[in-house]
Amino acid sequence: MSKGFDFERETVKLMSLWWTQDLDEPRDDIFYKTSGSGARHTSRMKKGISTYNSAGDMGFLDPLGEPFINKFLVEMKRGYTNTGRVNSKDIKKVIKEDSHYEPLTKNIHKYITNKVKKSGDIIDVLDFVDTNKLPLLYKWWEKAEKERKEAKREASIIIFKRDMKNACVMMDADVLHELMLLHSVNNIIIQIKKTYLIILSLHDFIENVDPSTIGG
């Protein structure tokens, strides 16, 4: 089972408990991870067919969750951490190399080098100002917004977690300001075209946003 699947499964449970926190017995089964990360919605949209409750990475299993899903298109992302480069010296330290290990060292180094090359983009906020490439957060947001508009929802939420870091939320600053006061939590503000986005920890989002302000 992949780390991404575990993260998505735990996130939908956490969001379910948050959404039903005012019930006598909060529930962890309100939301679910959509099939193929919303792939069914995307495939059907290409044919001009809409699919209810399937856009994005999160849908609702119980009607209690319908107000949240009708309002927000949720994407969930896991990984995207720069782990640094590994060289032959690093490998030698691990296996205490002698002459018998020389071929092994070369093979391990080749494997790890290729693995790093294939690992894809990483999350780096500075990419917005010091590089010409499209930042990963930008790509995520553009994709989420496209799908949000197709699904006719009001706003996008991206929940992501880097390796060995806490989960975070990224969403439109104007939308988030309607839900909570931000002066008491750590956050980052970035700009994509004319839209200002705020990134904060998922913990702070859950602790400070009252579901009743959305419809929960």
What lies within 8 Å, CB to CB, of 144 at 6+ separation is: 56, 73, 75, 156, 158
Examine the pLDDT at 1 and tell me if it is beyond 90.
no
Return the pLDDT at 90. Answer: 62
Q: Read off the pLDDT of residues 64-89 as tens digits, 9 standing for 90 and up.
A: 999 999 999 999 998 765 555 556 66
Do 170 and 191 lie in a common domain? yes
Do 175 and 71 lie in a common domain? yes
Do 95 and 149 lie in a common domain? no
CA distance 64 to 67: 7
Distances (CA, A) of 35 to 19, 29, 157: 21, 16, 18
- Pick the range with the lowest mean pLDDT from 40-44, 178-182, 195-199, 200-204: 40-44
Do 37 and 10 lie in a common domain? yes
8 Å CB contact between 110 and 88: no
Mean pLDDT of 110-120: 57
Return the pLDDT at 215. Answer: 79
Assess if residue 81 is contained within a domain: no
Do 67 and 144 lie in a common domain? yes
Domain of residue 135: give its range.
Answer: 3-76+122-213
Assess if residue 60 is contained within a domain: yes
Over the chain, what is the mean pLDDT? Answer: 82
Do 61 and 23 lie in a common domain? yes
Return the pLDDT at 41. Answer: 47
Do 26 and 62 lie in a common domain? yes
Assess if residue 97 is contained within a domain: yes
Do 104 and 170 lie in a common domain? no
Return the pLDDT at 38. Answer: 46
Examine the pLDDT at 216 and tell me if it is beyond 60.
yes
Assess if residue 82 is contained within a domain: no
Name the residue type at position 99: S
Assess if residue 131 is contained within a domain: yes
Do 53 and 113 lie in a common domain? no
Return the pLDDT at 101. Answer: 58
CA distance 142 to 152: 15
Do 164 and 100 lie in a common domain? no
Going by C-alpha positions, the residue among 126, 134, 200 that lies closest to residue 167 is 200
Assess if residue 155 is contained within a domain: yes
Mean pLDDT of 168-197: 93
Mean pLDDT of 176-201: 93
CA distance 60 to 201: 23
- The domain boundary, picked from 98, 117, 136, lies at 117
Do 129 and 142 lie in a common domain? yes
Domains identified in the chain, total number: 2
| Distance, CA of 57 to chain centre | 9
Assess if residue 175 is contained within a domain: yes
Do 179 and 154 lie in a common domain? yes
CA distance 169 to 211: 16
Assess if residue 83 is contained within a domain: no
